[in-house]
Amino acid sequence: MTCKPHDYERCLELFGKLSEYIDREMDEAERRDLEAHVAECLACLSCLQSLKQTIALCKQIGRQPVPVVFSQKLQSMVQDLQRSR
């Protein structure tokens, strides 16, 4: 499956706006316009999907527990601060 022949200038223009689209920070007219383009353009769809997946992966980075030794170090630091007041 390939794209229908079309003006790639439009792709380049929309390329800079994909994050705004994903973050729902576009106005309605622009949004509809981008969706209509992506429905016809596999190159832009590919770009949009891989960007969405990148963001989804960033949200999965997860949280590491604080090392116990470091947590104790922070507590001693706070105690020192209070003593020095």
Which residues have CB under 8 Å from 6's CB, separation 6+?
Answer: 40, 41
Which residues have CB under 8 Å from 38's CB, separation 6+?
Answer: 14, 44, 45, 48
DSSP 61: S
- Is 72 a binding residue for another protein by CB under 8 A? The answer is no
Q: How far is the CB of 27 from another protein (least distance, A)?
A: 14
Q: How far is the CB of 60 from another protein (least distance, A)?
A: 6
Q: Which residues bind another protein (CB under 8 A)?
A: 1-3, 8, 11-12, 15-16, 18-20, 23, 25, 42-43, 45-47, 49-66, 70-71, 73-75, 77-79, 81-82, 85
